Amino acid sequence: MSELQTEKHATLEIDPVLLEAVITGTKQGLEMTGVNPPPVGASRFFSTSRPISVMVGLVGRTNGTCAVSLTEKGMLYLAGRLLGEQPPQVDAMAVDAIGEIGNMIAGRVKELLVGSEYEMENISVPSVIIGQSYGVHYARGMHTLSVDFELEDLPIMDLRERFFTTSLSLLRRVAT
């Protein structure tokens, strides 16, 4: 065997329970919009360069956050799909709609994790963050997962606008 054939490759160790919960929770959370975005990538890290995020707290045996990060065009598109008419700009109605979408996704993720080691009992009211100049820092020991999805109905000319991310950051309590 050649050196290349025997070399062991590192794998991206993504928890399959969290991966399934994020993908299925995002798709089911968006059912009321009629959007079924395909997942296009996954990472063990939470990061976003998109200017709009919806953060929903998760509380129970597991604590943390579920975040949906997207561009303004992505937000307006999803808000419009939920409302039945796309808002022309970011306004109170669009912010409320994207907050509700984040809430629906987090709620589905919560339900999908029932019975797993990541189970939680409650979710918080969603917070919508607008602006790119922020960082999210978590305590050591957090389990994180981010999945990128594509909004295929947006024009290809808006390639950078077509993607959004759903992220989970969870800290499990140690059993006493």
Q: What's the CATH code of the domain at 79?
A: 3.40.1550.10
- Is residue 124 a part of any domain in this protein? yes
Looking at residue 44, its pLDDT comes to 83
Give me 138's structure tokens: 């978590």
Q: Is 70 domain-assigned?
A: yes
Contact (Cβ atoms closer than 8 angstroms) between residue 148 and residue 50: no
pLDDT mean by block of 10 residues, the chain; 176 residues: 54 86 97 96 82 94 93 96 93 96 97 92 94 68 89 90 94 62
The answer to whether residue 4 is domain-embedded is no
Split into its structural domains, the chain has a count of 1
Structure tokens at 51: 């200017």
Q: Give the pLDDT of residue 1.
A: 46
Residue 141 within a domain: yes
For residue 109, the SS3 value is helix
Residue 112: enclosing H or E segment and its boundaries? helix 92-112
- The residue range of the domain holding 33 is 14-171
In a domain, 60, yes or no: yes
Residue 6 within any structural domain of the chain: no
**Residue 5 located in a structural domain:** no
